[in-house]
Chain A
């Protein structure tokens, strides 16, 4: 049972480059999320999805895009990378709304550095 799988684990980008962080879950969860984690700041929600074909912005969506073509996959696209996007990115999923049960299942994270 893999849970939530993120790739890549590490990546270094140059300013202006683009990339996609991949996320897949095998728990048949409808809800999926992308968070970024910066030191001392907790986690901030970038985008989330309540099911295939439905996505919505979180607290810090600027500079990112997402898509949800299947229940399993929720890729995060970074366009024109900037140093402010240097962070650790976490994908998560939940069976129900995260604010109702708080039970999120997280991937192990993708550490991105933009130079």
Chain B
């Protein structure tokens, strides 16, 4: 069964420093993978997606993620955090059957000035 594990429930960074959000997946095949962002009191927004093309995927707001099949990982990074990056981030993988997704538990990012 397809599943994702977000290794950190909370991440705290200083403004201007790099951000790393870790996601490991479990799948019997090479899946599609997505990252979503949720700002406070808002709905989720697609940040980026991997669909078996380039393994390094660039998204909105300067974020990128690298698909590593050997490590079953899809970590999200940003070189320099901005205050507006304070949000919750979700790693998402499609389920094997049907029109369904599996969401990770989320990583809440705090950006300190």
Interface residues of A (CB under 8 A from B): 4, 31, 40-45, 48, 50, 58-59, 90, 92, 97-104, 106-109
Contacts and interface: CB of A to CB of B under 8 A. Distances in A.
Interface stretch (B41-49, B65-73, B78-86): B41-49
Chain A CB within 10 A, most for which of B43, B94, B98: B43
Contacts of B102: 42
B99 interface: yes
B75 to A, nearest CB: 17
A72 to B, nearest CB: 17
B22 interface: no
Interface of B: 9, 32, 34, 36, 41-46, 49, 51, 90, 92, 94-95, 98-106
Given A40-B105, A43-B90, A98 B99 contact: yes
A76 B94 CA distance: 23
Contacts of B34: 102
A25 B42 CA distance: 16
Chain B CB within 10 A, most for which of A40, A48, A106, A108: A106
Chain B CB within 10 A, most for which of A48, A58, A104: A104
Contacts of B104: 42
Given A48-B99, A98-B94, A99-B99, 11 more contacts: A41-B105, A42-B104, A43-B44, A44-B103, A50-B99, A97-B99, A99-B32, A99-B95, A102-B46, A102-B92, A102-B94
Nearest to B91: A42
Nearest to B95: A99
B105 A42 contact: yes
A97 B51 CA distance: 14
B32 to A, nearest CB: 6
B43 A106 contact: yes
A84 B34 CA distance: 29
Contacts of A44: 103
Contact of A90 (B32, B44, B94): B44
Contact of B43 (A4, A42, A101): A4
